[in-house]
Amino acid sequence: MWALCFGALVIISFTYWVYRWRNPRCNGKLPPGSMGLPLLGETIQFFASNPSSDIPPFVKERMKRYGPIFRTNLVGRPVVVSTDPDLNYFIFQQEGQLFQSWYPDTFTEIFGRQNVGSLHGFMYKYLKNMVLNLFGPESLKKMLPEIQQAASSRLELWSRQDTVELKEATASMIFDLTAKKLISYDQENSSENLRDNFVAFMQGLISFPLEVPGTAYHKCLQGRRKAMKMLKNLLHERRANPRKHQSDFFDFVLEELKKEGSILTEEIALDLMFVLLFASFETTSLAITMAIKFLSDHPLVLKQLTEEHEAILKNRENADSGISWKEYKSMTFTFQFINETVRLANIVPVIFRKVLREIQFKGYTIPAGWAVMVCPPAVHLNHKKYEDPLAFNPWRWEGPEINGASKHFMAFGGGMRFCVGTDFTKVQMAVFLHCLVTKYRWQAIKGGNIVRTPGLQFPNGYHVKIMEKQTRFIST
């Protein structure tokens, strides 16, 4: 008898728990949606890859079923997904008041608990200003010759090879440049390969969070630990042998650490360096790979881009001089091309925030403590805003210059957390394109698949043959 009562109690308790899981408490009306399986939620469906350039199936299917705002559960956390431009804009404008930057525990474990994305308020603003010291306009003006030299030397190297796997090659180029500016790292003179650790990190970044040897997630964490160990050893070496003059970002960080009453800690500084190294090379190499693919597929775009850059050479007093800041700012069609590339590349596929106070929006209630996930691809591929949204059309950007984010364009985030490395990415892309179209021609040998995940995209196997050509315009 007691066994029957106990069994019945267990069944009732389990049934009630499942019911509460599927129907969370709310003071108003929750957005429609499904919370998925107990504990797992819809995590497995969310992590599924997408071999197309369209909105991820996870989001697209639920948009059709529930509308632009819906609820789900990811890695045990209730989440409201927003593909609504008005709600996205509201979220970014209320940063720090109603919403706070947040990422799942698995992401925090990967990027570090003191990474810049997890910090808020004054500490975040302090780190943002530090990064702007490196990537702000005045610094970028001084970096132009280095960026052009890096692009020119790599293109020359690639032109002597049979084929180049473009994503890998551009990632290597940008990592070397960024690591040099950040920590004066030179792979040829280093006993350890820092980038190899980031490659291992990348391969498991978007994977099911199972910390078991042999899994992609385990390899990801191993790559992070090794990279962090190298950065920590370098930090201690610099402290023991300080330089007389600042030559890189690490020197600037060390000066900040030495200041009396500094709020910067070694842990925060190392997490910052790690995130900057990762973000700069992975996102920009993706954008450049996509850019060359689009140029290969659209001859008219290539023609107009080439004409713009050859005109810059023709108008130079000295054909051998490097790109000036004035020339860079004059690249009107290039910026249109870059905007269209990052719109379709969707470099920032998801943006997470945490709800600080209960929100009422368009008849729905979003409870405090829940997460919200903004989905930029759904915004960038909205047929109501962009005619034929999957088509590559740089001319759609003719008109006012786009310098920041808007309701319909958030390729680099939005609000106060708009990516501080945006200008660095644009400069690298513009300079690389200038070197490419004025001196080289290329041929796609093997087209790779653009495999999208909720967090990243991997253009695998896109091989090209780079062939040098004579520059058409020579100064007299």
The residues near 248 (Cβ < 8 Å, ≥ 6 apart) are: 180, 181, 182, 183, 184
Strand 351-355 to 457-460 pairing: unpaired
Is 33 within the bounds of a domain? no
Name the residue with tokens 């910052």. Answer: 272
CA atoms within 13 A on the CB side of 367: 14
Known binding residues: 419
CATH of the domain at 314: 1.10.630.10
Q: Tell me if 7 is assigned to some domain.
A: no
Q: Is residue 27 part of a domain?
A: no
Task: Give Cβ neighbours of residue 342 (< 8 Å, ≥ 6 apart).
Answer: 287, 411, 412
Nearest to 471 by CA among 448, 423, 439, 432: 439
Per-residue tens of pLDDT for the chain, all 476 residues? 666 665 656 565 555 445 555 667 778 889 998 887 777 778 888 877 766 778 888 999 999 999 999 999 987 889 999 999 999 999 988 888 898 887 766 666 666 666 555 556 667 677 777 777 778 888 889 999 999 999 999 999 999 998 888 888 998 899 888 888 887 777 666 556 677 766 666 666 656 666 667 677 777 777 778 888 888 888 888 887 777 776 778 888 888 888 877 788 888 888 888 888 877 777 888 899 999 999 999 999 999 999 999 999 999 887 778 899 999 999 999 999 999 999 998 877 888 888 999 999 999 999 998 999 999 999 999 998 999 999 999 999 987 666 655 788 887 777 666 677 788 899 999 999 999 999 988 888 877 665 555 544 555 667 888 888 754 433 32
Residue 423 lies in a domain: yes
Contacts of 81 (CB under 8 A, 6+ apart): 33, 59, 62, 69, 70, 71, 72, 372, 373, 375
The one-letter code for the residue type at 78 is P
Taking the C-alpha atoms of residue 373 and residue 321, their distance in angstroms, rounded to an integer, is 46
Inside any domain, residue 283: yes
**Do 101 and 353 touch, CB atoms closer than 8 A?**
yes
Closest CA to 423 of 179, 88, 131: 131
Phi–psi pair at 390, nearest 5 degrees: -85, -5
Confirm if 427 and 147 have CB atoms less than 8 A apart: yes
109-139 as b/e: b if 16+ CB within 10 A = bbbbebbbbbbeeeebeebbebbeebbeeee
| Beta strand pairing call for 449-452 and 457-460 | antiparallel
Six token digits for residue 207: 């994977």
Q: Residue 132: what pLDDT?
A: 78
Structural domains counted in the chain:
1
Asked, for residue 23, whether it belongs to a domain, the answer is: no
Pick out the residues of the known binding site for heme: 419
Domain of 310? 41-468
Q: Is residue 29 part of a domain?
A: no
What pLDDT is recorded for position 473? Answer: 39
> Per the domain annotation, does 82 fall within a domain?
yes
User: Would you give the distance in Å from CA 83 to the centre of its chain?
Assistant: 18
Q: Write the CB contacts of 13 (distance below 8 Å, at least 6 apart in sequence).
A: none
